[in-house]
Structure 1
Amino acid sequence: MLELRAISAGYDRRAPVVRSVDLTIAPGESVGLLGPSGCGKSTLARVAALLHRPDAGQVVIDGEAAQGWRHRAPRRQRTAFGVVFQQPRLSADPRLALRDLVAEPLRAVGRSSEAADLVPELTARVGLGKDLLGRRPHEVSDGQLQRACLARALVLRPRWLICDEMTAMLDASTTAALVHVVEEYRRESGAGMLAVGHDRVLLERWCDRTVRWEELAG
């Protein structure tokens, strides 16, 4: 169970963008969070993934309260999450070839030796040809780079996926392909998911249930 309890968060304690929000996601469940740009849903997603410390409230992961944020979170909690952001160029190190980008989480947890097997498997799964793996982010399209970012999010086999406007910059065919990859992974692993977006039709087709931001922030 992923539980967000009375979360308030923002970038200025005097004016939080998220105020006392509660949200629960069951194991294996996919929840869509629908809301307009700038409402605070991406901030809430970052809190859920332990990437942003809330001003108040508690994140509970599989029955255990979060013990820290970002690099201060214990490895067992930090690696429970795979995150895909809206803008891949802002979340990808421009110096890394795509194969190294995908392997980045493995290096961070001392499992670099697994990259030789996992990177080819995952890049093929997300639809990246071998000819692209040596290229850097500026040498590929947004869709190709987002495929690599999704492979990176899956490489540690997370129990929870946070997809923050993952498809907002993609065409329809790439969107369909990446949603299929996510759902295939979830069927195999039993991972739960929070998908943030403003496309009601996509979220309602993709997720088990969709929550409107105004219902949370209400």
Structure 2
Amino acid sequence: MLELKDITAGYDRRAPVVRGAHLALRPGESLGLLGPSGCGKSTLARVAALLHRPDRGTVLLDGRAVTGWRHRAPRAQRIAVGVVFQQPRLAADPRLRLRDLVAEPLRATGRRTEVDSAVAELTERVGLGADLLGRRPHEVSDGQLQRACLARALVLRPRWLVCDEMTAMLDASTTAALVAVVEEYRADSGAGLLAVGHDRVLLERWCDRTTRWSEIVKD
């Protein structure tokens, strides 16, 4: 279970962007979180992905309270969550070739021997041709870069996946392709999914259930 209890978070304690949020995601479940731009969805997604420490509240991952964030999170918790952001160009190191972008989590966790096989498998799964793997972010389209970012999110085989407006900058065909990749991965692994967005039609088609932002936060 991934549980967020009474989460208050932001970037200035005097003016939090999230107040008293409650959210629970069961293993294998896909949950859509629907809300307008600027409401705080992305901040809550970062809390769920263990990338942002809340000012108040508790995050429980598989029954254990999270006590560290980003690189200070215990390794078992840190690698249990994969995340894909809305803007791939802000999420990707512009110096890295796509091959190295996908392999980055493996190298960071000391699993260098798995790089070649994992990169080959995942880039094929997300639809990245071998001719693109030697290119840097500025040499590929937004859709191609987001495919690489999704492969990076999956390379450690996380049990939980957070997609924060993953398809907001993509065309319909690329959106359909990446959603299909996520669903194939979830069918294989049993991973839970938190999909954050403002497109009600997409979330309701994609997820087992959808909840509105106003339903999980305090007034």
- Paired letter, 1:105: P
The 2-side partners of 1:69 and 1:174 are apart by: 32
TM-score by structure 2 length?
A: 0.99
- Paired letter, 2:90: L
The structure 1 segments of at least 4 consecutive aligned residues displaced by more than 4 Å after TM superposition are none
**SS of structure 1 residue aligned to 2:163:** strand
- Paired letter, 1:4: L
* Identity value in percent: 81
Kindly report the root-mean-square deviation, in angstroms, between the aligned alpha carbons of the 2 structures.
Answer: 0.5
The 2-side partners of 1:56 and 1:193 are apart by: 24
**SS of structure 1 residue aligned to 2:216:** helix
Query: Which runs of structure 2 are paired with 1:12-51 in the superposition (5 Å)?
Result: 12-51=12-51
1:208 is matched with which residue? Answer: 208
State the aligned residue count.
218
- Paired letter, 1:174: T
2:172 is matched with which residue? Answer: 172
TM-score by structure 1 length?
A: 0.99
Question: Unaligned 5+ residue runs, structure 1?
Answer: none
2:80 is matched with which residue? Answer: 80
- Paired letter, 1:200: R
2:61 is matched with which residue? Answer: 61
The 2-side partners of 1:159 and 1:201 are apart by: 26
Q: CA deviation at 1:113?
A: 1.3
Q: CA deviation at 1:9?
A: 0.3
Q: CA deviation at 1:112?
A: 1.3
**SS of structure 2 residue aligned to 1:46:** helix
The 2-side partners of 1:22 and 1:214 are apart by: 11
The 2-side partners of 1:156 and 1:191 are apart by: 12
Q: CA deviation at 1:215?
A: 1.0
The 2-side partners of 1:16 and 1:161 are apart by: 25
> What are the Cα deviations for residues 53-76 of structure 1, in whole angstroms up to 9, with x where unaligned?
000000000000002000100110
The 2-side partners of 1:72 and 1:42 are apart by: 21
- Say if 2:74 is the partner of 1:101: no
